[in-house]
Chain A
Amino acid sequence: MSVTAASPAQNDAHYKAWDVAGYPDVPTDTKVQLFDQIKGDIRFADYLHGCYECGICVAACPSAKFYDFSPRRIAQAAAREDVDLIYQQMQEDIWECSQCFSCLRCPRGNNPGGIVTIMREVAVRNGMASAKEALVGYSRIIYKIMSTGTQVSPDMLGRDSFPDWGPETADVADNLDLWRRALPPETMHTTSTGWSVAESTLVELYLIWMETGALDMIAEVDRGLHTILLELMEERLEEEGIEL
């Protein structure tokens, strides 16, 4: 499903800006379909059991201390099936969550952080604007993890990449190859990956991304990145004589 804006007539309402969190509103049917996908996740029933309104999750939540974010509101909107609020949360709140799972302190046994994970997945699968915006600047990370099997690499510590981390990071950048060769474990002499990953292992990883639909999800948020990854993986699998 592709999320599209509500009709022009709705958007023309003269007394009220018709948007949600800065993005165009969508028809209620679309919101219901999005929530149906959330409810349809196999984990959903284990993540939501009701809400005592106690606020323990909010007290424990780091994002609630910094943003206008509330894990309690996440659980309550899902429990009430309030599709308007859920849509607003998908266009805004869910990307503020730290995914630390402090909210698992919930005495009712809820997992608001887990609900956020599901909502994010649905947002990505549907190419929602908030997902695209949240992942701006993140493409190189997705490329790294999906193509090399390791998420962060030594060469990400570029001289100008993390200026707020202090001059020591620039020292690492300036001496990267030498300092990597000085590491005792022979698996860690790499600069473009955290450790040396076997080629056969990458082939297995590519098969997993393709067989489980994880690669397809990228197409909804970054079509260019998807094309690059698809070509890379298909070429590598063809070299191995693997037919999909």
Chain B
Amino acid sequence: MTIPVEALRRAKSAEGPVTDRRSLEDPRAELLELERQGELIVQKIDREAVTVSTKYGREKRIQKSHLWHHKSCGQCGHIPGYSTSIFWLMRKLGYDYHDPHDQTSCTAWNYYASATSNPAAQAAVAVRNFAAAYETGYFPLIHCGTSYGHYKDVREELIRYPELRAQVRAVMAKLGKPLVLPEEIVHYSEWIHALRGEIAAHRVRDVSGIVVSVHPACHYHKIVPGDAIYDPDFYGGQRTAVVTGLAEALGSTVADYSTWFDCCGFGFRHILVQRDFSRSFATLRKIEVMKEEANPDVVLTHDTGCVTTLDKSQFAAKAHGRNVGLPVLSDAQFAALALGAHPYRVCQLHWHSADYRPLLEKMGIDWEQAWAEFQGDLRRLESGEKRYLDWDDAEGVHDKNRPPGSPTGDEHDS
């Protein structure tokens, strides 16, 4: 499969930017206008930012530091190494952040699964979280692709429908909070993409021999598609640049496959109560096609449901003799491993199902030793020496063989 990159570049430079017909051309400008009219408050980017380009050419700024981490319930609950890797990367790069307790899920997984909610409730949940971030002064960074996509939809609805704004404003008033939205809605994978050069500069493990296949998450690039990051240097600007940009910056090879646009099979309700669909789609349309056409060492993706579905669905397919068996990681986990993170203390790979050990070996990681170190940590917990592990433990500051003067975890939690 070949993408006519040069032809697309020529066409783009001749015709200028394409117009997005189905979503607002510049939601940021619309928000600022509504703020000027006194309709809402816009939380501004107030720290150093990186400017990136979106699908139809609008520039989007990604704040580098002082970020309010809007966690993902699916990541924190079932693949916690996804969340810890995002935090770890931010600490590694020396950027401060806030990990809040006054955050709820976006509740969109349930909304897309059961529809037991409505636009006003969904918008109020979103704005309550944004207001919580606004109160701290930290700028929101969204971990989950579905939260990111849903919040972009909510933003469009709040801009388009005055009656919805009035309803949400009334609810927020009862909570004692303003109707506030951030200047940009930013997904963590956009932060990683924007800072991929800084991330790559910290690489300590050689991943040049690693072949990667990328699954772009539906709710990242299909919901309000005009706001996702695209770059002519990646796929001629015909697919989102995130994840691929990171993998290439780290030095690994991205191998393409024909069903890249297909969803992972998550289905929201299907993954919980109708998994025959999820299992079949994830393995027959994604994993098997990747193996046949690209034969990667690892599948990288950037959303909660995608990691879950692509990883967990392989066990049953393997029992049926299907051509599966690919480790599935988030871009954050892959980057953390490349930067020297511990596979269990930080990346928490023991929560994954597909066998990741061949990948670790190819990355030069002694997983048996790492597992023994983690077991030692667990013994400290079981003996009562500590109740919980912390970031110092994740950095191995208590390891007997640790070289003196080795870097430890920074103090970034507020």
Contacts and interface: CB of A to CB of B under 8 A. Distances in A.
Interface residues of B, number: 100
A211 B174 contact: yes
A109 B224 CA distance: 12
A142 B312 contact: no
Given A181-B381, A181-B389, A200-B102, A217 B73 contact: no
Contact of B381 (A46, A162, A182, A188): A182
Contact of A138 (B223, B267, B269): B269
Contacts, number: 266
The 6 closest A-B pairs by CB, nearest first: A166-B315, A120-B115, A149-B104, A194-B76, A214-B121, A212-B121
B275 interface: yes
B71 A194 contact: yes
A168 B105 contact: no
Majority-rule SS of B interface residues: helix
Interface in A64-112: 65-67, 95, 98-102, 104-105, 109, 111
B50 interface: no
A197 B124 contact: no
B382 A186 contact: no
B367 interface: no
B135 to A, nearest CB: 12
A99 B112 contact: yes
B348 interface: yes
23 contacts: A66-B281, A98-B270, A121-B115, A131-B115, A137-B272, A145-B110, A150-B73, A152-B78, A164-B316, A165-B312, A182-B388, A184-B393, A186-B390, A187-B76, A187-B100, A194-B77, A198-B102, A201-B103, A201-B104, A207-B175, A208-B124, A211-B174, A214-B121
A142 B110 CA distance: 7
Given A42-B119, A178-B382, A205 B104 contact: yes
Contact of A187 (B101, B175, B315): B101
B156 to A, nearest CB: 8
Interface of A: 41-43, 46, 60, 62-63, 65-67, 95, 98-102, 104-105, 109, 111, 117, 120-121, 123-124, 131, 134-138, 141-142, 145, 149-154, 156-157, 162, 164-166, 168-169, 171-172, 178-189, 193-198, 200-201, 204-205, 207-209, 211-214, 217-218, 221
B65 interface: no
B56 interface: no
Nearest to B348: A183
A154 B272 contact: no
Contact of B109 (A131, A135, A151, A171): A151
Given A62-B262, A142-B116, A149-B104, A164 B378 contact: no
Given A117-B115, A172-B351, A184-B394, 17 more contacts: A102-B261, A104-B225, A121-B118, A123-B115, A124-B114, A137-B273, A149-B104, A165-B353, A166-B353, A168-B352, A178-B381, A184-B87, A184-B393, A205-B104, A208-B171, A212-B121, A214-B117
Contacts of A124: 114-116
B128 interface: yes
Given A100-B263, A217-B116, A134 B219 contact: no
A139 B268 CA distance: 14
B353 A111 contact: no
A194 B413 CA distance: 18
Contacts of A165: 312, 315, 353
A156 B177 CA distance: 33
Interface of B: 21-22, 71-78, 80, 83-84, 87-88, 99-105, 107, 109-121, 124-125, 128, 132, 149, 157, 160-161, 163-164, 167, 170-171, 174-175, 177, 218-219, 222-223, 225, 261-263, 265-270, 272-273, 275, 277, 279-281, 285, 312-316, 345-346, 348, 350-353, 374, 377-378, 381-382, 387-391, 393-394, 409, 413
A105 B221 CA distance: 11
Contacts of A154: 77-78, 80
A182 B222 contact: no
Provide the main secondary structure of the chain A interface: helix
B153 to A, nearest CB: 8
Contact of A66 (B280, B387, B388): B280
A99 B269 CA distance: 9
B263 A102 contact: yes
A138 B218 CA distance: 23
Given A46-B160, A62-B285, A208-B121, A101 B116 contact: no
A243 B191 CA distance: 42
Contacts of B125: 205, 208
A213 B261 contact: no
B83 A188 contact: yes
